[in-house]
Structure 1
Amino acid sequence: MYKSFLYFLVLILFGCSQKQEATIDSPKKQVNPFYEKAFVFIDNDQDSAFYYLNKGKDVFIERKDSFGAGKCYVNMAIIQENTGDNFGSIETSLTALNFLNEKDFSHYYSLYCNYNNLGVASTNLKNYDDARRFYDKAYLFTKDPIDKLMLANNIGIVYHDEKNYGKAITIYKKLLDSIGSKS
């Protein structure tokens, strides 16, 4: 229960869907009313948010806007993970990778969120090697120090769940030291 609370707290504090909306715009800058409407529901009605993201994804695909479609898939995958559909979340996140470009800097935040989500869902399924691999991949797509702290924390959780307490404690101590040195 405590671990679930920590996951939830981290997702709320550093939720990709909220930051993504504020910082990433589709290169084509065309309004997609379904995509916009999804964020009205994202915090309180995830079924409706998922519905509108799915409709928005179809509009982006019709417009040949792969970045917009990729962002929809990433947010849909995060919703699936939040509601306990870890297998579906992984499948949706893997689909998102077909729409995101690892060589395009404007896609980096979505890629970071997507790989982090793959790590979280893999951790939930006890696929710890995959989780670490996805978290390591997420590191490649962020320069944000808070994002990096969150990824380190997530890797610490993986080691904790594997009962590799020594590695988990080492990571947690480094996190505490880095936070303490900044205050």
Structure 2
Amino acid sequence: MRTTTITTAIAMVALFVLAACSSIDCPLNNRVYATFRLDAGMKTMEDTLTVAVPRAADYKDDDTVIINRLAGFDSIALPMSYQRAVDVYVFGIKQKDSNVSTTDTVWVTKENNPHFESVDCNPQFFHTITDVKFTTEAIENITINYNKVTYNDGKAHFLIRFKGHSN
């Protein structure tokens, strides 16, 4: 009887060890986004915003719209590339009252840092933002607020202010 108890205990321990080793804890939310929040003094943006990402190196007529006609927002999250050293975003702003459209381009320079979760998980890249440049048709200013970008950030990475808006 004692041998049966010991054998059962060993079998249960082995089962728990195998179950623990075979579980895959890959994060479900593993896409990396940079968050742009309106700068102090701006509660919401009532103008319409469209954001596109150029796919080609020459930035001509080959882009992907990632935000389309968003209004009444206080922040946006934009995906970051895995391997590019500079991410480019094209902001199209259509003013609410006058229907005037303007376009600005934002260049985010970053370091791509590989992040290892598990051999069973998809490859991950976190980023360290080193610089931001932008045109100034509708954007007044963009500052780096928090330069580390992971898939679990609660802070805004950029503070953005648009011209003529201080609601």
Higher relative contact order (CA 8 A, sep 6+): 2
Alignment TM-score, normalising by the size of structure 1? 0.25
Q: TM-score, normalised by structure 2?
A: 0.27
Q: Which has the larger radius of gyration?
A: 2
